[in-house]
Amino acid sequence: MAANPKSGTRGIIARDGAIEDSGTTFGGGDAGGHLTSEEILAEYLYQGHAAAYCYAATGLRPPDARAVTGPPDTWIRLPNQYG
């Protein structure tokens, strides 16, 4: 998942090393005809909560809500891939 102030949170969904979806807007409220009823429900429930959507989509269960609601335990500076 990557957060971009201009285009929102986007990313790639991969399971067991296989890419299942790319260019995805996590929790963006998409209810297009290409989604299953479960995917539409998840889009609605997690709208505006990209981190929670990612946890739910992958089946991960954090030990408590801090990973979604904060505050963060640690800040990590990631390298800028564009220079």
Q: Is the pLDDT of residue 28 over 60?
A: no
22 φ/ψ sector (left φ>0, alpha ψ -120 to 50, else beta): beta
Q: How far is CA 9 from the centre of its chain?
A: 7
Task: Report the C-alpha gap between 46 and 31 in whole angstroms.
Answer: 13
Q: Strand, coil or helix: what is 6?
A: coil
- Other beta carbons within 10 angstroms of residue 70's beta carbon come to 9
Q: Is the pLDDT of residue 23 over 70?
A: no
Q: Is the pLDDT of residue 6 over 80?
A: no
pLDDT the model gives residue 25: 65
9 with 27: CB under 8 angstroms?
yes
